[in-house]
Amino acid sequence: MAHPHIHPFLLTTLKLTDTKTSIMNKLLSSFLTLCFLVLVFDTPTSNATGRNMVDGIFLPSQKNEQPYRTGYHFQPPSNWMNDPNGPMLYQGVYHFFYQYNPLAPTFGTIVWGHAVSHDLVNWIHLDPAIYPTDEPDISSCWSGSATILPGNLPAMLYTGSDSTSRQVQDLAWPKNRSDPFLREWVKSTHNPIITPPEGVKDDCFRDPSTAWLGPDGLWRIVVGGDRDNNGMAFLYQSPDFVTWTRYENPLAAADSTGTWECPDFFPVPLNSTNGLDTSVVSSGSVLHVMKAGFEGHDWYTIGTYSPDRENFLPQNGLSLSGSTLDLRYDYGNFYASKSFFDESKNRRVLWAWVPEKDSEEDDIEKGWAGLQSFPRALWIDRSGKQLIQWPVEEIETLRENEVKLKNKRLKSGSVVEIEGVTASQADVTISFKLEDLKEAEVVDTCSVDPQALCTDKGASSKGVIGPFGVLAMASKDLKEQTAIFFRVFQNQKGRYSVLMCSDLSRSTIRSTIDKTSFGAFVDIDPRYDEISLRNLIDHSIIESFGAGGKTCITSRVYPQFLNYEDAHLFAFNNGTQSVKISQMSAWSMKNAEFTIDQTVKSAT
Ligand SMILES: OC[C@H]1O[C@@](CO)(OC[C@@]2(OC[C@@]3(O[C@H]4O[C@H](CO)[C@@H](O)[C@H](O)[C@H]4O)O[C@H](CO)[C@@H](O)[C@@H]3O)O[C@H](CO)[C@@H](O)[C@@H]2O)[C@@H](O)[C@@H]1O
């Protein structure tokens, strides 16, 4: 089916009239809804999505038709998706919005896709919630965040790209608060509520955060941007959510990072895995996290926020910058993340965009691009120095057919198949016990880049203690394999370091794929701690969690073998010293349900 094109329509119409007539809004609204419905309901036979649909439920793709679509990671039925937006819990329903181009599997005019869930696992797709209608967002509705105001009123702040591509901040409200799915949204008549500050380029000012309420009763938000290429989180305050005043100093900044995208700022309690409402202030037992996206990664630092002085002091005293700060949520493909406080389970939940690593031509061919990470709970490590991330517990409802292993020695050079699991859609936890560390290879780990070390010493490069780990999404003959592994080093003073790698160099024999490997150190002492690894494998995505979520690496993989019954899973050890699998549990994962809301269906 030829996809209708929206851009000329939108742009010409708005340039000609440049007004806010309700007729035009209705026309645009109907047109966008129609485009969405046409695309969504084209899916049963469409090769673009590879999904069949019965009674509004997407069934797994025909075997081999769409090998890279996921079984339990969120994605829309088709087309382009990037950042997660405005996640929240409202009347017991989880809402997830996302940057979405309903018209093509490539970046374009962006609307807010919308889906709801009762468990963060199974999702109901709704019509797009926010889309270009008026001058303050006529070119696109970009990223933003939800805040639940007193009286249980959700407010959505987002970036509008106007007709001159100026980035402004806009506000939208639900049209009908008694609808728990909040299907329709209306824009504030005050839009734009914030315009770029003087000295900030029009296209370097975006992505408002969730607001927090200061002890003085004023709301605060941060907005990402830069001045002269120095990235920063501009800080604003408001008494009413409509009138916003900027503080002179940004809440955080770093030199030469370029524009900060999607800043997130939230409190974390010490010595607890719980989350906190965004308005809780720092105290002896509460610290704050500042996160920003730049240079293609999400960076964070932990520190103390003083609302009275209106400043944030990173605990390590360094500025938030890629060159000086080594804290990242994830060391693979994981960007533009956003968290929200889930009061039903007292936890903070994190989402992130996991971009494609194939070519744009490949995306056009498959009819879609972009995944979301599986929602992760996030809390501060006992050390107080870093965050821990772990898939939300609801994921366990998808597990079936557990396969276990205990006290299995992996001799040097061994490759052991883990049989009995659906290797293309699995949840695998494994713990390694090391016995003798004295012979660990000597490397000056302080001066070495872990990603470069992983690239240099991939899974096939023999070591002493490691590489050991798993080979996921592997073909039977191992010509294609993604190795997620550890390798232990010591420095001249005998201090041990554990390197975690995702070696993508042999993940596919296809040539159009970016096969850059990833790596990071894991902050554990292998003399006392076993080394654990969890992998969420889902066709073209592998989310890897080292040491209980201390180090996370998300990878995209596109093996050439097309029959997913041909995917295999192995444990391996390519070090000269043997290692022991103290325990392993692997589950096949059922498909999550992705359905279409009845109102969308009946509207056709
Ligand atoms: O949807 C807009 C919102 O998304 C954010 C954060 O993701 O801005 C993204 C941005 O560029 C999207 C774009 O790719 C470029 O940026 C990516 C990440 O920032 C890079 O990974 C990529 O290499 C860059 O090319 O995605 C398309 C294809 O990848 C490409 O055409 C886009 O440029 O959107 C803005 C407009 O393009 C640009 O300024 C941003 O970097 C968030 O900040 C927005 O609210």
Confidence of residue 36 (pLDDT cuts 50, 70, 90): very low
Distance from the alpha carbon of residue 355 to the mean position of ligand 1, in angstroms: 11
Please confirm whether the linkage preceding 450 is cis (ω < 30° from 0).
no
The ranges assigned to domains in the chain are 81-393, 402-589
pLDDT at 301: 93
Q: How are beta strands 335-342 and 123-130 bridged, if at all?
A: unpaired
Q: What is the largest CA-CA distance in the chain?
A: 76
pLDDT at 211: 98
Task: Please name the residue that has the structure tokens 């709801």.
Answer: 116
Hey, what are 571's tokens?
A: 């444990």
Tokens of 489: 């080093």
Among 83, 127, 134, 226, the one annotated catalytic: 83
Question: pLDDT tens for residues 121-155?
Answer: 999 999 999 999 999 999 999 999 999 999 999 99
* Average pLDDT estimate for 470-499: 96
More confident position, 284 or 45: 284
- pLDDT (tens digit, 9 = 90+) per residue, 557-578? 999 986 667 899 999 999 999 9
pLDDT at 162 over 90: yes
Task: Tell me what pLDDT residue 446 has.
Answer: 85
Residue 270 pLDDT exceeds 70: yes
Residue whose C-alpha is closest to residue 215's, from 132, 97, 299, 309:
309
The number of beta carbons lying within 10 Å of the beta carbon of residue 444 is: 10
CA distance 422 to 400: 10
Fold of the domain spanning 402-589: Jelly Rolls (2.60.120)
Q: What percent of the chain has pLDDT over 70?
A: 87
Residue closest via CA to ligand 1's atom 16 equals 296
Residue 7: pLDDT above 70? no
Average pLDDT over residues 537-549: 98
pLDDT at 317: 65
Categorize the per-residue pLDDT at 194 as very low, low, confident or very high, splitting at 50, 70 and 90.
very high
Cβ atoms of 463 and 511 within 8 Å: the answer is no
What's the pLDDT at 379? 98
pLDDT of residue 319: 56
81-393: what fold? Tachylectin-2; Chain A (2.115.10)
Ligand 1 centre to CA of 476 (Å) is 38
The residue contributing the CA closest to ligand 1 atom 31 is 107
Extract the tokens encoding 353. Answer: 């965009």
What local confidence, expressed as pLDDT, does residue 562 receive?
A: 63
Q: Which atom of ligand 1 is nearest to the CA of 207?
A: 45
Q: How would residue 9 be classed by pLDDT, with cut points 50, 70 and 90?
A: very low
- What is the tens place of the pLDDT at every residue in 228-254? 999 999 999 999 999 999 999 999 999
pLDDT of the residue at 17: 25
- Confidence band, pLDDT 50/70/90 cuts, at residue 65: confident
Instruction: Output the ligand 1 site: residues, CB below 6 A.
Output: 82-83, 99, 107, 110, 142-143, 159, 206-207, 261-262, 296, 335-336, 355
What strands, in cross-sheet order, belong to the sheet with 185-187? 140-149, 153-161, 167-174, 185-187
Q: Which of 165-169, 280-284, 291-295, 340-344 has the lowest mean pLDDT?
A: 280-284
Residue 128 CA to ligand 1 centre (angstroms): 20
Q: How far is the CA of 513 from the centre of ligand 1 (A)?
A: 19
Assembly ipTM: 0.93
8: pLDDT strictly greater than 90? no
Instruction: Supply the residue whose CA is at minimum distance from atom 8 of ligand 1.
Output: 261
Q: Which of 235-244, 306-315, 451-460 has the lowest mean pLDDT?
A: 306-315
Ligand 1 centroid to residue 292 C-alpha, Å: 14
Query: Has 83 been annotated as catalytic?
Result: yes
Mean pLDDT rounded to a whole number for the chain: 89
Going by C-alpha positions, the residue among 109, 98, 217, 238 that lies closest to residue 162 is 109
> How far, in Å, are 330, 456, 486, 528, 546 from residue 531 at the CA level?
18, 22, 8, 10, 7
> Ligand 1: which of 131, 142, 368 to mutate, most ligand atoms within 8 Å of CB?
142
- Is the model's pLDDT at 107 over the cut of 70? yes
Q: For residue 442, report the distance from its CA to the centre of ligand 1, in Å.
A: 40
pLDDT at position 316 over 80? no
Q: Is the dihedral of CA 459, 465, 470, 474 positive or negative?
A: positive
- Tell me what pLDDT residue 445 has: 85
Which pLDDT does position 598 carry in this prediction?
85
The closest residue, in CA terms, to atom 17 on ligand 1 is 296
pLDDT of 603 > 60? The answer is: no
Q: What is the average pLDDT across 506-533?
A: 97
Q: Please name the residue whose Cα sits nearest to atom 14 of ligand 1.
A: 107
Q: What Rg value do the Cα atoms of the chain yield, rounded?
A: 24
Ligand 1 pocket test, candidate residues 7, 79, 82, most atoms within 8 A of CB: 82
Ligand 1, atom 12, lies closest to the CA of 107
Residue 386 structure tokens = 């870093």
DSSP state of 465: S
**Residue 216 CB neighbours (<10 A):** 10
Q: Which residues of 425-443 are buried (b: 16+ CB within 10 A; e: fewer)?
A: bbbbebbbebeebeebeeb
- 343-348 LR contacts (CB < 8 Å, sep 24+): 343/89, 343/277, 344/89, 344/92, 346/274, 346/275, 347/273, 347/274, 347/275, 347/377, 347/378, 347/379, 347/392, 348/266, 348/268, 348/275, 348/276, 348/377, 348/378, 348/379
Segment 317-368, tens digit of pLDDT: 655 554 445 699 999 999 999 999 999 999 999 999 999 999 999 999 999 9
* Token pair of 30 as six digits: 């109907």
